[in-house]
Amino acid sequence: WQQLSSRLPVYSGVNYIRWGRKSCPSTAKLIYKGQMVGKEYRSVGGGTNYLCLPDDPQYDLQDPGPGHHIFLRGTRYRGFSDSIINRRVPCVACETNERVNRIMIPAKASCPTSDWTLEYNGFIMSQAEHDGQGDTDLFRDAHYATSYVCVDSDPETLGDYVPHNEGSLIYLVGADCSGRGALKGCPPYKQGPALPCVVCTK
């Protein structure tokens, strides 16, 4: 058994989505390129997570419809720098065969110890809250829950500018240090600044 098992290939590795970029870091290999998508921000139904939709879809299976479909929409940056606001978000699926553990740590910009490998760092982003206030129709509309994702700190776009307030959107996330629901630990947490994040493997 020992001789046989020594001849078997060893499968290991870990994969992750790099949000906001068109290529994987030098520490990983590309699985596929795509675009970040989600449901329309006012839609009650549908999933709560974002997806990295491949650039080369396959429609090989027979459509089980006809019927009502939930539609995915391209996700756009909001609340980021003016150079990328309202532009669509790219993404890539990456893998590394040398490491088997992966973690995304919110409120950190570096890996916890030297035995972890930095894949990328960025900022936590998600859907906007609905506060019933604001100067634009965007904040008077309902916003529904989505997942939190770590978007690369040096984000790229898919180029096209979409000016209307529709579709899937992502905003920067900050800590709340005021009010009855405030975080414990203010300071060191601060009211307002965007929370960083880091993706590490080992």
| pLDDT tens figures, 8-58 | 555 578 999 999 999 999 999 999 999 999 988 777 777 889 999 999 999
pLDDT tens digits, residue range 22-36? Answer: 999 999 999 999 999
Cα–Cα nearest to 88, from 28, 166, 190, 181:
166
Q: Could you tell me where the DSSP H helices lie in the chain?
A: 2-7, 137-140
Give yes or no for residue 198 having a pLDDT over 90: yes
Q: Are strands 196-201 and 102-106 parallel, antiparallel or unpaired?
A: antiparallel
Strands (E), 43-195: 51-54, 73-77, 90-96, 102-106, 117-126, 149-152, 168-172
